[in-house]
Structures are given as structure tokens and as C-alpha cells.
Chain A
Amino acid sequence: MRRYLGIFLTFARACLVRDMTFRANFLLECVTSLGWMSMNLAFYLLVFTFTPEIGRGTGWTREPFFAFVATGLIVNSIVQAFFMPSAEELTEMVRSGGLDSVLVQPLDAQFLLSLHRVEYSSLANGLVGVGLLGWAVSRFTAPPPAIAWLLYPLLVACGVAILYALIIMLAAATILLGRNQSLYDFWFYLTNFSRYPAEIYAGPWGGPIRMICTFVIPILLVVNVPARVIAQPFSAGSWTPIGGAVLAAAVMLVVSRLVFQAALAKYRSASS
């Protein structure tokens, strides 16, 4: 474990040196990533000029909703910074046979493939997320209880774990399909479902979507559970989704590991 931590820190250091070598590009990446985020925030502000709440009686008025958005920013920025850049490279590695050189290393392939690149510019959004969360919470009529603040980082970690497991499964799909340029698209579209409060998925179509995105692909637990803990009143009933998120994170990590191993066993080298 210590060895892996040491190797990860070496990767992280190398990526930092690389990012700092191309400082202008790094700054530009931060700016564009912040631009994307600001655009979404502007959209939500626009939406709130037409309505006081997202869904009648859901409690997602402006400030709680922005706390929700902030949570999404924090979770996604961690995933984008630490796991997504490596997974994106995998597509080309499978196609060109570059994966072979990873498989012969005396290290765990999943570790190497999912953690060898860190994109520091993605953390910019997370920092803004923290600021936005602080702003939104300071405007709540009732501040969140201490237990909510204690649980929040744990649930954010669970959200990150669920998304990481999904990335690993998509990576496995890449290995099986031979090429998966849609990996990133698929990721974007799938995580799209987690961007809004679960309550909006109601009615004859919404109900099944909510069930699938909670119990089959637990994408709705990623942002919803930590955001609810911080932005909605805490009650005895809050423990069920919290337990669900922790359980889902654990199950997803194990399943993704198994799927990834099975996919690697089927990998046929593309290089000569």
C-alpha cells in the first residue's frame, strides 16, 4: 500500500511539473473549465428567474439548489482531476497496443491505468464549488447540524467512489470493444442524470428512471445524498439514503474490480 502511495505521489509530482512547464496552457485550462461552470451557473440563475423552486414542494429553492450544484462541482472536479485523464488515454492505448507495456509492469494494472495522470486544472471547479457551498449555506434559514458537516466529506468520498467504479467499468468496455471513443461522451451523458435533484424524476417515465439510477447504476446517489445531508433538514429518515450510498460505493468498487479483471483476461494485444 505504501509502495503504491509512493508511486502515486511520484505520478502526481510529475504531472505537476508537466502542468507548470506549460503554465499558460494550465491557466487557459483552468479558465475554460471555470467558463463551463459559470455557464451552467448562469443557466440555473436564469431558471430561477422563472420559478421559486425546482419541483413543487421539493425544498430545492435557490440556495439549497446552489448547495446541490456546489456538491456536484466538488465531486466531479475530484473525479476529473484524478481518474478521468488516465481513463481517456486508455482508449488509444487499447487501439494501438500501448496497453501491453502497462500489463508487463510489476504493478496492479487497474492502479496504473486509472491513476497515472493528474489534471490539476480540474481542481479549479472544485475550489469554486467549495466557495459556492459556503455562500449557499451562509444564506440558509437554518444552518446544517454538526452531524451533517461530519457526514458530508464521507458522502462526497462515496460519490467519488461510485463514479470511479463507473469509469473502471467503462474502461473495461473499452478493452472489450477494441475502441471506445464514446467513452467520454457516455460518461458525460450518464453523469448528466446526477446533475439534478432526484425529485425531478417523477411520473410514469421519471419513476423508473429514478429507480434505475438509484439501484442499478447508482448515479443518483453521487450528488443527491451528500447535497441532501447539507441542504435539507436532517431527520431520522436521512440515514437510509446515507447507508445506501455507503453500501452502493462499496458494492460498485468490488463489482468494477471484477469486471475490469474479466475484461483484461479477454484482452488481445493490438501491437505486433
Chain B
Amino acid sequence: MSETAARPFAGLRAWWTMLSICIEERLAYRGDFILGTAMRFLPIVTQVFLWTAVFGATARGDIAGYSRDDIVAYYLLTMVARAFSSMPGLAGGIARSVRDGSIKKYLVQPVDYVGYLLAARIAHKLVYYLVAALPFAAIFFVCRGFFPPLPDATTVAAFVLSLVLSFLLGFFMEATLGMLGFWFLEVSSVIFAYMLVQYLLSGHMFPIDMLTGIPTGIPGVSLADLVRWLPFEYTAYFPAAVWLGKVRGWALVRALAIEAGWVVAMALCCRLAWRRGTRRYSAFGG
């Protein structure tokens, strides 16, 4: 009886220990980490100049419903979204631990591997936000002129919810991908291909609305429609579009529900891959 009562707390304590270990690990190489965080803003700079040059050479006031200021704001907001949904090293790390055999320590310990990875990732992100908050705030302050007036509280709440969901979606998609390592010895090319697709179709490269006029060969279906059937847009485009007021009312509620649906679906995929994968796994390495 007492054992079962103590179990939830034991679980929590294990989580807390994992979290604090990961935070310490992240802070061990601070110089490298801070450098990496600051560097992430550089691509935005080139994108801003590119689009400024594009708008400078054309007579149009907007492209696919975005003014130049909107595009700058969009790219900055996708940076926030990617800060939540990107999972550097997650898939590769899982595949590597399968390949070199280090995953077996999680198999013999009473620790849930996916739970451990999630705790580690939350720690990773918390430290990242701690370090990145200042440069993010500074850049948003400098660029405040590009943003439309602050949206209402409901939109802000929807934006925050979309970010949290994008974190979970990014995590489960990448974790599932990493578990392909149970079936294939080398998955780095698959991961790279995923990153490409993700970069292109998430809206990280350009707003998905720009694909609206491009036909697909299917009557009445544009390339933008096709992309919207996939989960990628929720990891960059969607949170930015929410903040900029591109998705409102019932369309917003519907989109959030679809995003939550994708999270559940990917979480199930991840669990299934783990269960099937560990069943066929035979340990390598000493």
C-alpha cells in the first residue's frame, strides 16, 4: 500500500533528478552554448535584406498578403516557434545509442526512455530560453516597428498554446524518427532528408501562403493546400500566423485541435516504435 502511494512521488523525484542533471550538463559548456544561441539569429538578417530587396524591385505592396514589415515579423516569429519545436540532436542521439548499444542501460533500469528524453529536452529548452531570452528580447525590441499592434489576450493565449503543442509535436516526430535506428543501422541520411522537408514545408523558409497560387495538378488543390495536410506547418508557420492574425475565430480553434491531434498521433507512433523496436533489439557493445 505504502509502496504504491510512494510511487507517484518517486516518479516525480526521478523526473526532477533527470531534469536537474540535464540542466547541469547543458551549462557545462557555456561558451559553446551561448555562441550557438546567438548565431541562430544571423539567417534572419539575410532573409530580411533579401525580402527588402525584392520589395524594392517590385511595384506590389504585398506578396501573398504579406507586406515587407509582415514578412520581417513573420520570420522573427518563426524563430520563436522553432525555438520550441526544433530538437537538435534528438533523432541522431537515439539512433546512435541504439547503434552503439548504450540504450541498453535504459532497458535494464526502471526508467522510461521516452520520458527521460522528454525531461532532458525540457531541461535543454529551459536553459536555452534562459540564455536566449535576452537576445530574443533585444531583437524584438529593435524590430518592434515591423510588428502589427499587440493582438488580444485570446490570440496571445492561442499563440502560447500553439507553441507548447509545437514543442510536443517536434519532440515526438523526431523521437519517432530516431527510433528508425532499431530497423536501420545508419539513419543520418533519413534525418537529413527529414530536416530538408521540415525546413521547406514548415514555413521556416517562407510563409506557406506564398504557395497558394501554385497548382498541383489536382483540380482545386493548390500546393499550399497539400502542405496544410501535413503536420510540418505547426512547427513554424502556424504559431507565427496566429500572432499575425492570419488565422482567427473558428479556423483557429479547428487548427489548434488538428495540431493537438497530430501531437497525440505522433506520441502514439513514438510509443509503438519504441515497443516494436525494443522487441527486435539485440544489444551491441560492451
Interface residues of A (CB under 8 A from B): 25, 28-29, 31-32, 35-36, 39, 42-43, 46-47, 50-56, 58, 177-182, 185-186, 189-190, 192-193, 195-196, 199-203, 206, 209
Contacts and interface: CB of A to CB of B under 8 A. Distances in A.
A200 B57 contact: no
A166 to B, nearest CB: 14
B32 interface: yes
- Closest 3 pairs between A and B when the two form their complex, measured CB to CB: A182-B36, A55-B53, A189-B42
A189 B39 contact: yes
Interface stretch (B76-84, B152-160, B185-193): B185-193
A196 B36 contact: no
Interface residues of B, number: 34
Given A47-B54, A54-B50, A25 B35 contact: no
Contact of B57 (A25, A54, A195): A54
A186 B58 contact: no
Nearest to A40: B205
Contacts of B205: 39, 43
B249 interface: no
B43 A32 contact: no
A196 B46 contact: yes
Nearest to A52: B57
B52 interface: yes
A25 B29 CA distance: 33
Contacts of B189: 25, 28-29, 31-32
A39 B199 contact: yes
A87 B200 CA distance: 28
B32 A56 contact: no
B145 interface: no
B57 A53 contact: yes
B39 A56 contact: no
B63 A54 contact: no
B42 A200 contact: no
Contacts of B200: 39, 42
